[in-house]
C-alpha cells in the first residue's frame, strides 16, 4: 500500500514537473515578446523624434534667408519670426535629447545589469551550497535573504524606469505651433478666419495632448498594480519555500 502511494506521489510530481516546464516556457515566450515589442517601440520613438528634429531645422533653415534677404516687407513678419524660433528650439531639443540618450546608453552599457547579475550569482552560489548541505540552517537563511533582496532590487530598477516621458508631446506640440504661427504670414483669407482656425486647432491639440497624458498615466498605474501583485506572489512563494522546503521556522 505504501509503495502504491509512493508511486502515485512520484507520478504526480512527474506530471506537475512537466506542467511547470510548460508554464515556464510560456512565461519565457511572453517575456521575449514583451522585450521585442519594447525594443520596437523605442526604435519607432527615436525615428519619430529624429524626423521631427530634422523637419524643424530644415524649415528653420529655409525661413532664415527669407527673413534676412527679403526685398520687400513681409506681412505679419513677427509671426514668421516666432515660428522660426520655435522650430529652432524644437530642433535643438531633439538634438540634445538624442545626444543625452546616446551618452546614457554608452555610460550604462558597460555596467548594465551588473547589480542584478551580482544578486543572481549570490543566489546560484548559495543554491550550490544548499545542494551540498541541505540541512545547513545558515545556508537556508542566506538563500531566503538573497532571494528577497533580488526581488526587491528588481522591483526598484523597474520603478526607476517607469517615469512618464512627455518629450514626444513637447516636440510635437512645438512643431505644430510653429507651423500655425508661420501660416499667419502667408494666410490669404480674412484675419478672423485665421484666428478661428488657429484657436480650433490649438484647442484640439490641447485636448489630444491631455488625453494622451491621461492614457500614459493610466498605463503606468495599471503596470505598477500588476507589478505589485507579481512582487507579492514572488515574496509569498519565497516565504512558503523557506518554511516548507528549507524548514526555516524563523
| pLDDT tens readout for residues 171-212 | 888 898 998 888 887 787 788 888 888 889 889 888 888 888
Number of residues assigned to the chain: 250
What cell was used for 162? 517607469
Q: Which is more confidently placed, 3 or 116?
A: 116
**pLDDT of 16 above 70:** no
**How crowded is the C-beta side of 16, counted as CA atoms within 13 Å?**
6
- Across the range 68-80, mean pLDDT stands at 70
**pLDDT of 53 above 70:** yes
pLDDT at 161: 54
CA distance 5 to 24: 28
Task: List the alpha helices (DSSP H) in the chain.
Answer: 2-69, 77-109, 114-132, 137-160, 167-183, 191-240
Average per-residue pLDDT for the chain: 77
pLDDT digit string, tens, across residues 76-121: 788 888 888 999 999 999 989 888 888 777 776 666 667 677 777 8
CA distance 248 to 242: 5
What cell was used for 97? 535629447
The structure's pTM equals: 0.65
Asked if CATH classification 1.20.120 holds for the domain at 2-112+162-245, the reply, yes or no, is no
CA distance 117 to 3: 44
CA distance 55 to 52: 5
pLDDT digit string, tens, across residues 123-166: 788 778 877 777 777 877 887 788 777 777 766 655 555 566 78
pLDDT at 146: 80
pLDDT digit string, tens, across residues 224-240: 787 788 778 877 777 77
Amino acid at each position: 500500500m505504501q509503495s502504491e502511494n509512493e508511486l502515485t506521489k512520484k507520478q504526480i510530481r512527474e506530471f506537475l514537473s512537466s506542467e511547470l516546464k510548460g508554464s515556464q516556457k510560456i512565461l519565457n515566450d511572453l517575456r521575449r515578446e514583451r522585450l521585442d515589442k519594447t525594443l520596437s517601440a523605442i526604435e519607432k520613438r527615436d525615428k519619430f523624434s529624429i524626423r521631427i528634429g530634422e523637419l524643424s531645422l530644415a524649415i528653420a533653415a529655409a525661413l532664415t534667408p527669407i527673413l534676412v534677404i527679403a526685398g520687400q516687407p513681409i506681412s505679419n513678419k513677427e509671426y514668421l519670426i516666432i515660428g522660426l524660433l520655435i522650430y529652432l528650439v524644437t530642433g535643438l531639443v531633439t538634438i540634445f535629447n538624442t545626444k543625452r540618450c546616446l551618452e546614457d546608453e554608452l555610460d550604462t552599457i558597460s555596467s548594465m545589469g551588473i547589480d542584478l547579475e551580482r544578486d543572481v550569482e549570490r543566489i546560484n552560489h548559495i543554491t550550490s551550497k544548499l545542494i551540498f548541505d541541505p540541512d545547513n540552517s545558515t545556508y537556508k537563511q542566506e538563500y531566503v535573504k538573497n532571494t528577497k533582496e533580488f526581488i526587491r532590487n528588481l522591483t526598484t530598477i523597474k520603478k526607476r524606469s517607469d517615469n512618464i516621458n512627455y518629450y514626444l508631446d513637447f516636440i510635437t506640440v512645438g512643431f505644430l505651433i510653429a507651423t500655425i504661427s508661420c501660416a499667419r504670414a502667408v494666410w490669404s483669407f480674412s484675419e478672423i478666419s485665421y484666428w478661428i482656425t488657429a484657436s480650433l486647432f490649438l484647442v484640439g491639440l490641447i485636448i489630444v495632448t491631455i488625453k494622451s497624458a491621461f492614457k500614459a498615466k493610466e498605463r503606468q498605474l495599471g503596470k505598477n498594480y500588476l507589478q505589485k501583485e507579481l512582487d507579492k506572489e514572488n515574496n509569498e512563494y519565497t516565504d512558503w519555500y523557506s518554511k516548507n522546503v528549507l524548514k526555516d521556522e524563523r
